[in-house]
Amino acid sequence: QAFRAEITHRFSVPLNTLGFSLVVLTFMLSMRFFRVENYGHTVRVFILILCLEVISIMAANLSIKYENMQIINFLPFILSIFLSFYFFEITRKIKS
């Protein structure tokens, strides 16, 4: 069981990395930019990255723990795609 979960984890890690970077990029683009440094934006980005990593770790642990649940490794990537579309829609509504 752990071996099969590890194999799918090796395939899901690059996808999760691309998905996480897409989420962070769309999140940063959906925020307003100011000339003065705003630490709140930086803290929000760090919290977003931490939450995505926690979700990824939990998905990997669940796929190892439960039988035939290796597909859970791809859950963070799917969540990242949906979050990216959500942040992209927010950006479109702000600019309209």
pTM for the model stands at 0.79
pLDDT at 20: 92
Minimal CA–CA distance to 91: which of 45, 43, 27? 27
Name the least confident of 40-44, 79-83, 88-92.
88-92
Residue 63, SS3 per DSSP: helix
C-alpha 15/C-alpha 17 separation (Å) is 5
Report the chain's mean pLDDT, rounded to a whole number.
85
What digits encode the pLDDT tens for the residues 13-35? 888 899 999 999 988 888 877 66
